[in-house]
Structure 1
C-alpha cells in the first residue's frame, strides 16, 4: 500500500505538533497533499479511471476548504504550510 502507518506517522510528525497530532489543519493538509500527488500519478497512467478522478476532485476540495480555514484563522500558519508543501493557490 502506498500509504502505511509509518508514512502517516512521519507526515504527522513533520507537519503536526507530534506523531499523534492527526487533527491539526497542517497535518491533514500534508496528508491530503500526499494522497493527491499519488492519485495524480495514477491518473497519468490510467486516464479512464473516472472513480479515481472523482476521488481526486473531492480530496482537492477538502484540502482547499482546510486552506481557506487556515487563511481565516491564522495567515502565518497558512503561509508556512504553503511554503513547506509547495502548494500554489
Structure 2
C-alpha cells in the first residue's frame, strides 16, 4: 500500500476523532466502520474512472463485506450504537 500523504492522514484523523468513543479510541467498531466507509468511497471513485482495475474491484468487495460483518456485530451487541452509526454515515437500513 502506498504511503499516506499529509492530507490523507488528516482526513483519517478527522474520521477517528468524529467517531471515537473514548479519548484514546482508534479500534472501536464505530471507528473501524467509518474508516472502511471512507475507503469504500475512495475505491468507488477510483473505479468510476478505472473500469478495468479488477484488483481494486476485489478490494472494494472485500471492504464492503468486512464493513457488513462489523455492522452485523455492532447490531447484535449494541443496537443503539448501530442505529446511531448508520444514521451518521448515511448507510442503508
Q: Could you tell me the TM-score, scaled by structure 2's length?
A: 0.87
Match of 1:48 in 2: 52
Q: CA RMSD of the aligned region, Å?
A: 1.6
1:6: Cα distance to partner?
1.7
Deviation per CA, 1:26-83: give whole Å up to 9, x if none: 0000000000001001101111000000000000011000000011001010000000
Matched residues in 2 for 1:87 and 1:19: separation?
Answer: 25
Say which SS state the counterpart of residue 4 (structure 1) adopts.
Answer: helix
Structure 2 residue runs without a partner (length 5+): none
Change (3 A) 1:19 1:4: farther
Say which SS state the counterpart of residue 25 (structure 2) adopts.
Answer: coil
- Work out the number of aligned pairs and report it: 89
Please identify runs of 4+ aligned residues in structure 1 that moved more than 4 A.
none
Cα pair 1:16 1:22 within 8 Å, conserved? yes
Deviation per CA, 1:7-33: give whole Å up to 9, x if none: 111111101125641110000000000
Match of 2:13 in 1: 9
Structure 1 residue runs without a partner (length 5+): none
